[in-house]
Amino acid sequence: MKIGILTYHRAENYGALLQAYAMMTYLKSLGHDVSFVDYWPKYHSDYFNIFSWKSFKRKGKKGKILMILNYILPAKHVRKCRLQRFMHERLGLKNKAVYTDSNATTEHYDVVIYGSDQIWRKQNLGGVAFDEWYYGSSNVVADKKVVYAGSMGVIETSEDDNEYVKKMMCNFDRISVRENDLKDYLQKLSIDSIQVIDPVFLLTKEQWRSLKASSKHKGEYILFYNLLNSGKARQFAEKLSQEKGLPVIEINKNPLKGTVCDASVERFLQLIDDAAYVVSNSFHGVALSLIFEKQFYAVGMGRRSNRVVSLLSNMGLCHCYITDEGLNQQNQEIDYHLVKEKLQELIACSKLFIQQSV
């Protein structure tokens, strides 16, 4: 069966690339002919430009200096090249996207799977709020359109938005979502959906380990994945470092002093898997910590916490989310014997949804 995947497959973000890789790999394991619906309009590509004149003009003096430093330092360029290499070598993408015009029409697919990641997010980028390509528009030609682990991020919708969402959901044959609050939101719009788990969980720990880079660090360390560049989360990581007597390795997309900002996807996986503890304000940082059975803390996510809280509540691990007010709290050790039972049940249900949908 010819299956297309429509997601944020070219986003220069570890989580976005890993969930895309996982979905593609799992579908191929079922014997299907799988590729990405390579839609990547200008507003997407502009967002990942290292330097933007439009953004530069809005910045104050300090912001302008930081933008110039970011541009002239090699780390961001190295990171960009490494993530794009993953897209080309692991996801089978060409240098340029096939569909960059929102008026284009795709080739024919038997099934197109939409998601995961925040494909339904209200973006407000380049004049775009909701992109109808991700809502099953006729631009995508397929016999069947299925949503797997769709996400909207922070749900902030008006009455007009609700009407739009309700109308566009009729384009899909089956709908599954990733977060509790999105399932509840759709239910209020009289739209049926089931909850499934993020695509990264469709692959085993061993499959992810076969992809990771070889280890470089000797001795134990705390891995701090600071996707949101949160000072509160850094404060927590430093406190944990003092308590455990372990050094901190920080992954941050900004070239700050002492941070890893140019890691490849394979190196990113290695840093998480080899860590003694993980502190993260990233959904996929938490998800991979679960897969690799790490002792971890989710910290400093603020309004973006719904994704992580939803995942942790399903695992019985709400205590692993640390609020700003609870930065001094001590986390209890995670018993992975109990977690794995719950996780395997969710994974089995999610795989069944995919198999029945295609």
pLDDT per position as a tens digit, 25-45: 999 999 999 999 999 999 899
Amino acid identity at 268: F
Which residues, in sequence order, are bridge partners of residue 297?
279
Q: Contact at 8 Å (CB) between 174 and 147?
A: yes
Q: So what's the pLDDT on residue 66?
A: 72
pLDDT of amino acid 325: 63
Q: How confident is the model at residue 61, as a pLDDT?
A: 75
Query: Are 39 and 99 spatial neighbours (Cβ–Cβ below 8 Å)?
Result: yes
pLDDT digit string (tens) for 215-226? Answer: 877 789 999 999
Q: Give one word for 117, left, alpha or beta, with left for phi > 0 and alpha for psi -120 to 50.
A: left
Q: What are phi and psi of 248, to 5 degrees?
A: -110, 130
Dist CA 120 CA 307 (whole Å): 14
What percent of the chain is predicted at pLDDT more than 90?
74
How many helices (H) does the chain have, and how many strands (E)?
A: 13, 12
Q: What mean pLDDT is predicted for residues 269-282?
A: 96
> Which whole number is the average pLDDT over 281-291?
97
What is the number of residues in the chain?
Answer: 358
Query: Strand 174-177 and strand 194-195: pairing?
Result: parallel
Is the Cβ–Cβ distance between 354 and 31 less than 8 Å? no
Q: How far is CA 278 from CA 58, 86, 150, 191, in A?
A: 35, 24, 26, 37
- As a whole number, mean pLDDT of residues 281-299 equals 96
Q: Is the pLDDT of residue 128 over 70?
A: no
Full DSSP string of 39-58: B--HHHHHHT-S--HHHHHH
Task: Give the per-residue pLDDT at 175.
Answer: 98
pLDDT in tens, 178-189: 999 999 999 999
Domains of the chain from N-terminus onward: 2-46+90-203+346-357 (3.40.50), 212-327 (3.40.50.2000)
What torsion do the CA atoms of 25, 282, 128, 48 make, to the nearest 10 degrees? -80
Using pLDDT thresholds of 50, 70 and 90, give the confidence band for residue 51: low
- Cβ(186)–Cβ(155) below 8 Å: no
Over residues 308-327, the mean pLDDT reads 85
As beta bridge partners, residue 141 has 108
Does the reported pTM lie above 0.85? yes
* Angle made by CA atoms 293, 250, 62, in degrees to the nearest 5: 145
Res 308 pLDDT > 90? yes
Residue 326, pLDDT score? 62
CA end-to-end distance (rounded Å), the chain: 8
Residue 6 CB burial class (10 angstroms; 0-12, 13-18, ≥19)? buried
